[in-house]
Amino acid sequence: MSSSSLINYSHQRHMESYALALVAGILVGFVLLVLIATYGKSFKAEIPPDVDQPSKLCLYHCVYTLMEILAKNLESLGILKEHVLMRLVVDGLPPCRDSELCVKDLHFEEVPVRIYLSKAPAASKRRGVIFFHGGCGIFGSIRSHERICRYIARKSNSVVVSVGYRLSPESEYPAQTLDCLTATESLLKTAQNHGVDPERVIVCGDSIGGTFTAAVCQELGNRRDIPKIRAQVLIYPFLQALNFNLPSHQKNAFIPFLSRERTAYFLLKYLNKDCSMKEAILAGSHVPESIHLKYRKWINADLIPDRFKLGYKPPLPASFSPQVHEETKELFHIRVSPLLAEDAVVSHLPDTCIITCEHDVLRDDALLYKKRLQDNGVQVTWHHMEGGFHCALGFFGYGIFSFPSSSKMVNHIVNFIKGY
């Protein structure tokens, strides 16, 4: 073949590739437009003007919603389970290698963990931080919180243990909490083998990881056969499943990533329950009057400071459904709703750092728990992110793609840890 023929052939192949790429782009664009037109209501969200970088948050919300819609459609077609695709989204991109840290993948009994510690020699045993990632018990992983754990290890000079607990629906509740308990007990028992001072172990978690943190500290609080946990860090934790009509639920009902509706939906999926009960749960139909009256002293909008109740309207009483109650009894377990623990348990909890976000449906869970801890004599350090929103921590370490509140939260965590 002559050189001119080769040039023409190469040019033809280039044009064919360009045409294919153009067609593929048009098809993808068409599919996206169809999805947006079909599922327009799913894109409904409220972007408060005082939230961190509202335009960026709006863009991320649209991308996340598109992926969620795509995942649901792939599952309905029998191609891929919804949670599998969403796990890939939540896990994010792997970070570059960190030359300052030694990273080891181990198992504490059967539970996978990743240990981060500085390569610099230590004059004495370091404090230990055990971290439980968020993700509704369905998403998230050691990888999704890699940047956060690395930063904490570097900046606080601690040994950080990130726990890869089993996820739902493959592993049914309470496998997740049990894995977190196992990992924590193992670290407390073998701390010195990992260069950790057993008297300076701090438990930390975000979202449902905060649920696991609270539950683990409650269950180990009175143990005498292992060292005591020194402190706990709760980052916008989920702490109760009785009342989804608190001021923060109303104010932030349509905030991106974790709306009020998604909260109930993911909770039911986590527990492997019928998600059609979502509206009944949100209304409070699962709570009998006796339980409502019993816990009113701890879960009540009247206990929320006035500055967080602007625009709040007390909901109308819900009609009780014995069937929904019977099918969702796990919602009243302490491992799901740590806010229901008795004072005898709460009073033995360690020093606590609580981080809340203004634009978060779960804000009031943490405010109510803060009050309970303080009422029982537990020392509490509280940081409130005025521009923060649920899931903001997950964007930490992505440079210009991150949010101001992401860095603020991690630095508050580091400063609290360094106090121990």
pLDDT band at 28 (very low <50, low <70, confident <90, very high): very low
Of the residues 91, 206, 360, 364, which is catalytic?
360
pLDDT score of 49 more than 70: yes
pLDDT score of 138 more than 80: yes
pLDDT score of 24 more than 50: no
Sorted by sequence, the CB contacts under 8 Å of residue 334 that are 6+ apart come out as 215, 218, 340, 341, 345
pLDDT band at 5 (very low <50, low <70, confident <90, very high): low
Of the residues 156, 168, 186, 207, which is catalytic?
207
This prediction's pTM: 0.91
Mean pLDDT of the chain: 92
Residue 18: in which H helix or E strand, if any? helix 3-38
Active-site residue flag, 4: no
Looking at residues 235-257, what average pLDDT do you find?
Answer: 97
Cα gap 179→196, rounded to integer Å = 20
Active-site residue flag, 302: no
Residue 44, pLDDT score: 74
Cα gap 402→395, rounded to integer Å = 5
Cα gap 10→4, rounded to integer Å = 10
pLDDT score of 2 more than 50: yes
Of the residues 321, 390, 402, 406, which is catalytic?
390
Residue 45, pLDDT score: 85
pLDDT, one tens digit per residue, over 272-306 is 999 999 999 999 999 999 999 999 999 999 999 99
Contact criterion met (CB below 8 Å) for 192 and 186:
no
Active-site residue flag, 360: yes
